[in-house]
Structure 1
Amino acid sequence: MNSVRLSVSLVRKLESKEAVIGIVGLGYVGLPLVLRYAEVGYKVIGFDIDPTKVMKLAAGESYIRHISRARLESALSKNFEATTDFSRSREVDALILCVPTPLDDHREPDLSFVVGTVDSLLPYLREGQVMSLESTTYPGTTDEELFPRIESAGLKVGEDFFLVYSPEREDPGNNNFTTSSIPKVCGGYSSTCLDVGLALYSKVIDQLVPVSSTRAAEMTKLLENIHRAVNIGLVNEMKIVADRMEIDIHEVIRAAATKPFGFVPYYPGPGLGGHCIPIDPFYLTWKAREYGVSTRFIELAGEINASMPDYVIAKVTDALNRLRKSVNGSTILILGIAYKKNVDDMRESPSVVLMEKLRALGAQVSYNDPYVPVFPKLRGHAHFDLSSVPLTAESVASYDCVLLATDHDEYDYELIRVNAHMIVDTRGRYLEPAKSVVKA
């Protein structure tokens, strides 16, 4: 079959929902996408290297808080199955890669998950398939890493195999947007690849945003996240300045946000968390060096954001000094160890860094998080053999200091205020001045 007929045939299958969709990586990005495809009528095969995840899915058990068991069971009863067997990728017409892209120990891009996934799929790729990479990465990854690997398997990208980059835009815990309602950027290796990519997403996403190339799509994702990281860096620096001047930065932000144009509110915190914002700017920083460009603005924001845990530790030390106590030997309760409120996602959570630093200073650290009952094992971090302690008047009063790191809506903030000896508030949750509250 010639290339035109192959692309037309694949577009038809995708648009008629006759195509089988394969999604590789069944985490916070991949699993919601699986369910969306299944719910609109596609047959979906989910691939993951973690057999525990696959077994849980087969049993109808969701391991992501905002995905209900009922929604998962509905998909399983119709047209979704999960597997660790990558040879089954022969059965699918589309492969969507939703795998991690962390930084290594030198804060340089670690593409091992992306490259390893593609290498695992290579023996099973065939004519008439499309591959879409959704993982955040530097401009050029799709062309420089995926393209040559696919062609090494004897396939011609843009002719008998189609390649696109379409970055994920999931926001766990944000109930205002769903997988379908968030506009989706898509760039193809060629114009034919783009046509296939748009067909791939056309039935599951309300609005598609085509761009001229995979590189443009990759840069778009980085700009989105760098924009947020830089503005958070700015407001974190403003917080430190305002604190020295005895001004409440949260009051200032609330006042500034009343301006109906030219201002977007960003909020300070104990550091950056999540799988995107603390990591993605450094993908561009690394790639820019290849072109002899220094990304000083991005790196400065990164330095400020990375320094925030130390600022918070200084505030904890000050709070304990008011009680005539040292950090060494004090009991400290961390409230919230997820990276943002109302989710169970702990990736790159600044709370973990705070716990590590406090323990290293000799504090006895405990935590409460309604969404994380047991402290998990995390890549690149020390392990805490801890479970979430009950949050009662008695338990709060038993600690020397309560450190509010993640402001879940579920918390009874009045109970905490009344019973805590000292509160270090990194989220601006306590608006009124109080002797027992230290703003951090």
Structure 2
Amino acid sequence: MPADLAVIGLGHLGLPLAQAATAAGIPTIGFDPDAWAVAELRAGRPPVDGSLTAAEIRRMLSGGFRATTDPAELGRVRTAVICVPTPLGEDHALDLTAVGEAARALAARLRPRATVILESTAYPGTTEEFLRPILESSGLLAGRDFHLAYSPSRLDPGNRRFGYANTPKVIGGLTPACTEAAAAFYGRLTDRVVRARGPREAEAVKVLETNYRHVNIALVNEMAVFCHDIGVDLWDVVRCAETKPFGFQAFRPGPGVGGHAAPIDPNYLSYKGRSLGYPLRMVELAQEVNGRMPRYVIQRCATLLNEHGKSARGARVLLLGVTYKPDIGDQEGSPAREIASRLMEMGAQLSYHDPYVPQWTVLDRPIPRADSLYEAASAADLTLLLQHHRTYDLQGLAVKAQLLLDARGATPAGAAHRL
């Protein structure tokens, strides 16, 4: 059966979109040049980032979804959504390499009246100034011969309350007709479509939403350090503050900020060599504050061990939860890796436990996985909770652990040392 939709990029953005489209009865193919990833999906095996389970992959396949590495398939669809990764490079600029490659593969086979949508994180202007010229190398003009739009991804992996259907979808098209074409597609997947004035506004939505999270986490992380220094229970402060019915949204501190949504500073517009001439100071400061948190956690670990007559060198340290979010297997940007690296450099003997991560390597060295959680906590000089998975009985762990540092504020009050 010919496909109506091509999802380009079968990672943490593309697979959930393909899942939602297949469930809605839209004939869907997934294109990715990674032959190994495609072979795994065809075999019904879940992706390593844990974005979908094996059962969900099997349901997609039985619903008609096909994964392919053949770009010729792109010439047979009416809608193509680009969901490739745009990671931050060493210069803190978004790397648009994969977007360019996807666009070139699509341009060689672009059909008249097709709809092309970019969902990858991008700077304001990317759709018009970077993506559009590549697609128009096909000889077709955006806004006249094919529709072009941007729609920021709003996926929240592991969220059991909000999914594709009940999360409003923002769309900004190159022309009003482009917006309506994209809205007609997303209207089959979601309950509400929000129309932006254009692609730049839609792209700026992603910048604002991502930086909002990082700036507020940075604020509460600074408060965590401040409150600890003056002997105030920050977790109780947040508990009380969130009772205010207006003007406050609760964020909680942690050992660092992970995930795929890195802070975005539009000052770094590497694809055009442009610069605003000034940074977004709040974004830079938030990145600095959040980047310090793994080192602060290490400092707290060393202090606790010292207070109990132990040195970090030779100490047995058990790390609990090494993913960036609870109840998923995705380790993208998790602060656990930096924390583990620093502990190893200090001479600590590490082990870890995570129900979603069967194997874990740090600094090219495999970290032993604890089979019996309670026994491991009892044997460790320090147990460090980095991620609160639902399967963890924190009350029981607090009883078994010799010394427990809770970096997530998830243990009962008084049961452990909190960040």
TM over 0.5: yes
Task: Name the structure 1 match of 2:264.
Answer: 281
Q: CA deviation at 1:387?
A: 5.3
Task: Name the structure 2 match of 1:335.
Answer: 320
Return the match for 1:402 from 383, 389, 405: 383
Which amino acid letter does the alignment assign opposite residue 348 of structure 1?
Answer: G
Which amino acid letter does the alignment assign opposite residue 44 of structure 2?
Answer: G
Bigger shift: residues 64-73 or 133-142: 64-73
Distance (Å, rounded) in 2 between the aligned partners of 1:247 and 1:100: 41
1:37 equivalenced with 2:18 (yes/no): no
Matches within 5 A, 1:261-272: 261-272=246-257
Tell whether the 8 Å contact from 1:137 to 1:280 is kept in structure 2 after alignment. no
Q: CA deviation at 1:82?
A: 0.6
- Cα deviation 1:92-129 (Å, max 9, x = unaligned): 11111111111112222211121122223332222221
Q: Secondary structure at the match of 1:196?
A: helix
Task: Name the structure 2 match of 1:354.
Answer: 339
Return the match for 1:230 from 212, 215, 233: 215
Q: CA deviation at 1:248?
A: 0.9
Task: Name the structure 1 match of 2:357.
Answer: 372
Task: Name the structure 1 match of 2:151.
Answer: 166
Q: Secondary structure at the match of 1:281?
A: coil
Q: Secondary structure at the match of 1:131?
A: strand
Q: CA deviation at 1:408?
A: 0.9
Tell whether the 8 Å contact from 1:285 to 1:299 is kept in structure 2 after alignment. no
Which amino acid letter does the alignment assign opposite residue 23 of structure 1?
Answer: V
Distance (Å, rounded) in 1 between the aligned partners of 2:85 and 2:349: 33
- Cα deviation 1:126-171 (Å, max 9, x = unaligned): 2221111101111111111101111122111111121110011110
Tell whether the 8 Å contact from 2:317 to 2:384 is kept in structure 1 after alignment. yes
Distance (Å, rounded) in 1 between the aligned partners of 2:333 and 2:341: 13
Q: 1:367 to 1:195 in 2, by over 3 A?
A: same
Matches within 5 A, 1:5-404: 20-63=4-47, 65=50, 67-276=52-261, 279-282=262-265, 284-287=266-269, 290-375=275-360, 382-386=363-367, 388-404=369-385
Q: Secondary structure at the match of 2:313?
A: coil
Q: 1:116 to 1:384 in 2, by over 3 A?
A: farther
Q: 1:137 to 1:387 in 2, by over 3 A?
A: farther
Structure 2 residue ranges without an equivalent (≥5): none
Tell whether the 8 Å contact from 1:373 to 1:387 is kept in structure 2 after alignment. no
Tell whether the 8 Å contact from 2:83 to 2:118 is kept in structure 1 after alignment. yes
Q: CA deviation at 1:65?
A: 4.3
Task: Name the structure 2 match of 1:421.
Answer: 402
Tell whether the 8 Å contact from 2:74 to 2:110 is kept in structure 1 after alignment. yes
Tell whether the 8 Å contact from 1:19 to 1:94 is kept in structure 2 after alignment. no
Q: CA deviation at 1:430?
A: 2.4
Distance (Å, rounded) in 1 between the aligned partners of 2:367 and 2:76: 43
Q: CA deviation at 1:199?
A: 1.3
Q: Secondary structure at the match of 1:327?
A: coil
Tell whether the 8 Å contact from 2:222 to 2:289 is kept in structure 1 after alignment. yes
Structure 1 residue ranges without an equivalent (≥5): 1-17
Q: CA deviation at 1:309?
A: 0.6
Tell whether the 8 Å contact from 1:337 to 1:369 is kept in structure 2 after alignment. yes
Which amino acid letter does the alignment assign opposite residue 31 of structure 1?
Answer: L
Distance (Å, rounded) in 1 between the aligned partners of 2:95 and 2:55: 36
Distance (Å, rounded) in 2 between the aligned partners of 1:250 and 1:398: 28
Task: Name the structure 1 match of 2:392.
Answer: 411
Tell whether the 8 Å contact from 2:106 to 2:135 is kept in structure 1 after alignment. no
Q: Secondary structure at the match of 2:180?
A: helix
Task: Name the structure 2 match of 1:438.
Answer: 417
Q: Secondary structure at the match of 1:280?
A: coil
Tell whether the 8 Å contact from 1:136 to 1:280 is kept in structure 2 after alignment. no
Output the aligned Cα RMSD. 2.0
Tell whether the 8 Å contact from 1:123 to 1:153 is kept in structure 2 after alignment. yes
Aligned-pair identity in percent equals 39
Q: 1:418 to 1:48 in 2, by over 3 A?
A: same
**Larger relative helix fraction:** 1
Q: Secondary structure at the match of 1:124?
A: coil
Distance (Å, rounded) in 2 between the aligned partners of 1:419 and 1:161: 63
Q: CA deviation at 1:311?
A: 0.6
